[in-house]
Structure 1
Amino acid sequence: MTKPDCPWNRTEESLGNSVELQHVNLRVPDQLKATAFYISALGLTRDPYLVTGIENMWANAGVSQFHLPTGPAQRLRGSIGLVLPNREQLLHRLQTARRWLDGTLYSFEEREDHVAVTCPWGNRIRCHAPDADRFGRILLGIPYVEFDVAPGTLDGIVRFYREIVSAPAAVVDGVARVLVAPGQYLTFRETDAPQPAYDGHHIQLAFVDFGGVHAKLAERGLISQEDSAHQYRFIKLVDPDNGKLLFEVEHECRSTTHPLFMRKLVNRNPATTNLIYATGHEELAWAMPPA
């Protein structure tokens, strides 16, 4: 019996071993200014259920979060991509936030395809409008975290994620792209600019083959911390061919049995206020409606 030709490229739906980019963790020295920036300026949502005290803040962005514990400021060596649904409203919020963030490193600048925003402590965030061709169905979320890396490291980084993490990875237009969740990537861009020493910030991923990745990392002495039955960490990215250190950023690795895996997050509509209100419009959908 002749099988019918398949009209779809089935490999486009292959995800790989990493299935969740849940958060980016950056310490902040001032929770009031962090609220002014992440909640008031960017329009994100403080998690209403977990970590609601003054020592930390979880800011929801679609299916992902920023984790912002109090401490000496940390700066990600690169840029964080953020999709937000309305550029005009974003610019209004960013302008309004100047009153609370004067005297810090806070700034923003309109670019052709994004708004370049710098947080009060120097972290760079590229705010994009939704774009199905670039970011899929994301209306609100973190489509990528991009790291600045040394020249000559991209091929080794791709090998690391392919062979140790079992995540689809390739160099595309001079940038290493690693698929770590549906529509979400870690990207690595080479630069000659000198980079500051790694300061401890981290990202969190979830692995289907949780034990398999652990075994490959442990074999190379790369496990940096054993947190729980559901979680471990590593920092060093090395070339699997020769063990050469390529980059450092902590990966908080969770299993798909972790109690917080794929936890549903509340996302508010920042355009709805007590002065401009309509029942049923408080919540914001993070994805586009069906085509």
Structure 2
Amino acid sequence: MECPWNRTTESLGNVVELQHVNLRVPDQLKATAFYISALGLTRDPYLVTGIDNMWANVGVSQFHLPTGPAQKLRGIVGLVVPDRAQLLHRLQNARRWLDGTQYGFEEAADHVDVTCPWGNRIRVHAPDAERFGRINLGMPYVAFDVAPGTLPGIVRFYRDIVQAPASLENDEARVLVANGQYLLFRETDAPQPEYDGHHIQLAFVDFGGVHARLAERGLISQEDSQHQYRFIDIVDPENGKLLFQVEHEIRSMTHPLFMRKLVNRNAAVTNLIYATGHESLAWAMPPE
């Protein structure tokens, strides 16, 4: 029987979760003004609720924002939020709390570019099922700026060592790391700051197999627990050349926090505009 569908497009590969991006922030009050009030995300109500760290929910993913010297991701975090007009209203209101910082935003035809108080770049899109899958709220990609000539080796690293679907498309390396979520790598001639320790967190099906391939090359940077390890260096498997650095916190599918259900609020509801039963937001689109 001839199959009418391309079955390979449904293969996730070895990576099944992009759970968080971790960036230190020096001021929790300003972080709350930016991530919660301006972007409209939701502070996790159950875990890490003190004043020294904040977990901000965005669909099935999070920002982790521990207190410390500011860290800057060398690239852009892509978000989808449900309503552009409401986003712009919140961003404008947040100026009163964030004046005097690097905070700002700029509208474009199909997105809004937002800069956090410490210079991190966030690109916010409206829901678009063709581009980002059936989500109203989420983190569809993290895009990194990398040196010229590194993309083929980066694709080989994620394809051969991590065993994630990876390819070169439209002058960028695309690595599928969960359903509808990607790591993107884009070459630039612009000088980049030194890596400052920020990290992303992924979950692997073949947790032990990737560990073995990384350890064989001396790439394991930290052994955290039975369910978690880390690596920083992305190298070309063909020659071991260092291509890029960003810490990857790697969890197993047996990690207690794997696929933990996250609370997402409806940022359009306030105490002045309130409707019972509409406080929460479904991050996925309804049935067609």
**Alignment TM-score > 0.5, same fold:** yes
Aligned pair partner of 2:223 in 215, 226, 233: 226
* Map 1:205-216 → 2, pairs under 5 A: 205-216=202-213
1:13 and 2:10 are equivalent in the alignment: yes
1:48 aligned onto 2:45: yes
Q: Which structure 2 residues correspond to residues 15-34 of structure 1 after superposition, within 5 A? A: 15-34=12-31
Task: State the secondary structure of the residue aligned to 1:95.
Answer: helix
Partner residue of 2:102? Answer: 105
The correspondence of residues 170-185 of structure 1 with structure 2, limited to 5 A, is 170-185=167-182
TM-score (norm 2): 1.00
Partner of 1:268: 265
Whether 1:66 and 2:63 are equivalent positions in the alignment is yes
1:21 counterpart letter in structure 2: L
**In the TM superposition, what is the alpha-carbon distance from 1:189 to its structure 2 partner?**
0.1
Alignment of 1:83-232 (within 5 A): 83-232=80-229
Deviations 1:95-123 (A, max 9, x none): 00000000000000001110000000000
SS at match of 2:119: coil
**Residues 71-104 of structure 1, C-alpha deviations (whole Å, 9 max, x = no match):** 0000000000000000000000000000000000
Three-state SS of the structure 1 residue aligned to 2:245 is strand
Partner deviation per Cα, 1:42-95 (whole Å, 9 max, x = no partner):
000000000000000000000000000000000000000000000000000000
2:270 is aligned with 1:282? no
The whole-number CA distance in structure 2 between the counterparts of 1:131 and 1:48 is: 28
CA shift, 1:38, in A, is: 0.1
**TM-score normalised by structure 1 residue count:** 0.99
Structure 2 residue aligned with 1:253: 250
Q: Which structure 1 residue ranges, 5 or more long, are not aligned?
A: none
Equivalent AA in structure 2 for residue 265 of structure 1: L
Percent of matched pairs sharing the same residue: 84
5+ residue gaps, structure 2: none
The SS at the match of 1:81 is strand
> What is the root-mean-square deviation in Å for CA atoms of aligned residues?
0.4
Give per-residue Cα distances to partners, 1:208-252, cap 9 Å, x unaligned: 000000000000000000000000000000000000000000000
* Residues matched between the structures, number: 288
Cα distance, 1:289 vs structure 2:
1.0
Aligned-partner Cα distance in 2 for 1:5–1:218: 43
SS in 2 for 1:79: strand
